[in-house]
Amino acid sequence: MSSESDRYSGMPQASRRDFGKLALNGALGGAALLSSSGTASATLRPIPPGIKIGTGGGRPTPENMQYLKQLGITWLSLGATPETATAEGFLRMREAWEAGGFKIYNIGSGVGPSGSLHNMPEVTLNLPGRDQKIEEYLNYIRYLGKAGIPYSTYAHMGNGIWSSGRLMTARGYEARDGNANSPEWRGHWAGKVYEQPLSHGRVYSKDEIWDNYIYFIRKVVPVAEEAGVRIGIHPDDPPQPVLAGVPRCIFSSFEGYRKALEIANSPNIGMCLCVGCWLEGGPLMGKDVAETIRYFGSRKKLFKVHFRNVSAPLPHFTETMLDDGYYDMYKVMKALVEVNFDGIAIPDHIPAVGSIPGASRQPRGGGQEFRPSPGLAYLIAYMRALLNAANSELKKA
């Protein structure tokens, strides 16, 4: 393992000193940095206050718009395709949805000429093509800024999202299963499959993963600040300490997030809190979901919430409907209200409910086919009821 001085020998002297101060100051210094802005020139696209319960939307067709209006949806979290992932394409998406009375909060799951710009092994693991991927990602953020999109989600996993398949739950709906002891346990992303024991042929160190993150985020911060775009970093899914030789040592715990956001030190870099992933980690995360919301949310470092529940923490979890998992989701909504969260909260990884073919997937964006989903309608209604209850309780307090 390299020494501390060797590890940061490629960084400017000021950056090395800042990193040393962060390590020494601990939680006290971290809180101060999290509450400060990165640079005087940093900009943020304005968003109105208040919690925005939203969802995906598929394409901006009259049928899709009618269904979303029936659900009371105004704010959307969309995806991109190679055809739409340009400044002009994003602007057309925004204008089409706004003409129907909707607002786009997020265009995530980035895509560039070389493919996915989300969960990029080249970046996380410093593989060939890293600088090309980073430049494509920076252009993606620039395109969002030019189109007036205020936010995008990024994920920093080196070997995909891991699952062991799907199963039928006791309540009778189909959902994703994550059994770390199953022979079917493997990672998937962008058409690639990652398997044990070593997904990339060797064991990586935690130092390498941190160094690669620092290399990436130092390039991202000035572009995000100039574009006015918020970037929320998604937790590792699942947040298992090591998967197939790759440590998940940054976005798999409260302390990892705290340290990573201190290093970024920018008002534009924060958290996309996937509640389901946090619950998959359970005690490994170091802080409860509600505690995490209160810490990062009070510092305006929480930008987006994926509102979902699971049956149990690792080593075996199953995704569930909101009222069918091991965590009380009212605690999540109450914490969001308490910190005056003004980002978007969406249902995520929606289990298959009902008998409509293809209705198990949340509509994301681009050219995906959209079908009305009974599961989506149930979750939106449940979330709105939780929000109403939390607001009522806060008024009485």
Claim: this prediction has a pTM higher than 0.95: no
Exposure pattern of 346-359 as b/e (b: 16+ CB <10 Å)? bbbbbbbbeeeeeb
pLDDT for res 58: 87
Dist CA 248 CA 320 (whole Å): 24
Dist CA 237 CA 189 (whole Å): 11
Question: What confidence category does residue 392 fall into, taking pLDDT thresholds of 50, 70 and 90?
Answer: very high
Q: Is the dihedral of CA 377, 373, 312, 241 positive or negative?
A: negative
155 DSSP β-pair partners: 234
pLDDT for res 396: 84
Q: For 213-270, how does the pLDDT look when each residue is reduced to its tens digit (9 = 90+)? A: 999 999 999 999 999 999 999 999 999 999 999 999 999 999 999 999 999 999 999 9
In this structure, the dihedral spanned by the alpha carbons of residues 210, 215, 219 and 224, taken in order and rounded to 10 degrees, is: -10
- The residues, ordered by sequence, that sit 6+ positions from 5 with a Cβ below 8 Å of its Cβ are none
Q: Which structure tokens are listed for 256?
A: 């990892």
pLDDT for res 28: 31
CATH of domain 35-396: 3.20.20.150
Report how far apart, in Å, the C-alpha atoms of 119 and of each of 59, 115, 383 are.
24, 11, 28
CB atoms inside a 10 Å sphere around CB 198: 14
Fill in the amino acid letter for 229. V
Nearest alpha-carbon partner for 345 in 73, 90, 59, 89: 73
Nearest alpha-carbon partner for 295 in 35, 53, 38, 39: 35
Count of positions (residues) in the chain: 397
Region 79-104 average pLDDT: 96
Percentage of the chain surpassing pLDDT 90? Answer: 81
Region 182-202 average pLDDT: 97
Question: What confidence category does residue 357 fall into, taking pLDDT thresholds of 50, 70 and 90?
Answer: very low
Q: For 76-88, how does the pLDDT look when each residue is reduced to its tens digit (9 = 90+)? A: 999 999 999 999 9
Cis (ω within 30 of 0) for the bond into 12?
no
Q: Rounded mean pLDDT of the chain?
A: 88
Dist CA 23 CA 7 (whole Å): 14
User: What is the three-class DSSP state of 142?
Assistant: helix
Highest mean pLDDT among 18-32, 273-287, 351-365: 273-287
Question: What confidence category does residue 355 fall into, taking pLDDT thresholds of 50, 70 and 90?
Answer: low
Residues 232 and 297: beta-carbon distance below 8 Å: no
Question: What confidence category does residue 44 fall into, taking pLDDT thresholds of 50, 70 and 90?
Answer: very high
Q: Which structure tokens are listed for 29?
A: 């210094």
Q: Does pLDDT of 40 surpass 80?
A: no
